[in-house]
Amino acid sequence: MKYTRLTKEQFDELHPEFINFLASQSIDKAEWDAIKENKPEVAEQELDVFSDLIWEGVLAKAEFLEHFSKNHIFLFKCNEKDVNSIVLKSMSPEVDFLTKEGLQWLSDNMFTENVEMKIGKKVFEDERNTSIFSLIQQGAFLSDGQLYQQINQIIES
């Protein structure tokens, strides 16, 4: 397995897609039930293959990621061969970016000495999707890129 298996909740959300996946292999409900009952290892393999297919599709479309922690915000723009990053760090340890108040503080202090900003670019060392998945496993999540684009626009102007 290349990525991780989808959660039960994710499988529930993707139930129609999973049915189509099984149908593409000429497996109907009765046969799937029999496989789960009599060959659980085969059922496990099918779940893993489906999970990898879903992850591949999601990661291929991924363009922006965000990762928030108490004193840092990591913003990523994923390109074909590399990733651009904007890292914001609060120089005030009491600020918590995980709260509404912390984000308001950031808005008020964005371009002051209270916020350290670093811009970077890194070429993907592994395959693009694997690298993006690694960021997700570390706590990043897919985003619409609005925050990245807003900050990047201000930096570039």
Task: Round to whole Å and give the CA distance between 153 and 96.
Answer: 25
Split at pLDDT 50, 70, 90, the class of 122 is very high
So what's the pLDDT on residue 102? 95
Tell me, rounded to whole angstroms, the distance of Cα 47 from its chain centroid: 20
For residue 80, give the 3-state DSSP assignment.
coil
Structure tokens at 70: 């108490």
Residues 133 and 94: beta-carbon distance below 8 Å: no
Where is 98: in which H helix or E strand? none
> What's the rounded mean pLDDT across residues 115-144?
96
- Residue 124, pLDDT above cutoff 90: yes
The domain spans of the chain are: 8-61, 64-156
Split at pLDDT 50, 70, 90, the class of 156 is confident
Note the pTM of the prediction, 2 decimals.
0.86
Helices (H), 8-113: 8-13, 15-24, 29-38, 40-61, 100-109
Residues 148 and 107: beta-carbon distance below 8 Å: no
Tell me whether residue 60 is exposed, middle or buried, using C-beta atoms within 10 angstroms of its C-beta: 0 to 12, 13 to 18, 19 or more. Answer: exposed
So what's the pLDDT on residue 155? 83
Name the nearest CA neighbour of 142 among 31, 58, 82, 57.
Answer: 58
> What's the rounded mean pLDDT across residues 96-120?
94
Structure tokens at 147: 């925050």
> What's the rounded mean pLDDT across residues 90-105?
95
- Residue-wise pLDDT for 12-51, tens only, equals 999 999 999 999 999 999 999 999 999 999 999 999 999 9
So what's the pLDDT on residue 157? 78
- Which residues contact residue 114 at a Cβ distance below 8 angstroms, ignoring those fewer than 6 apart? 90, 91, 92
- Residue-wise pLDDT for 54-96, tens only, equals 999 999 999 999 999 999 999 999 999 999 999 999 999 999 9
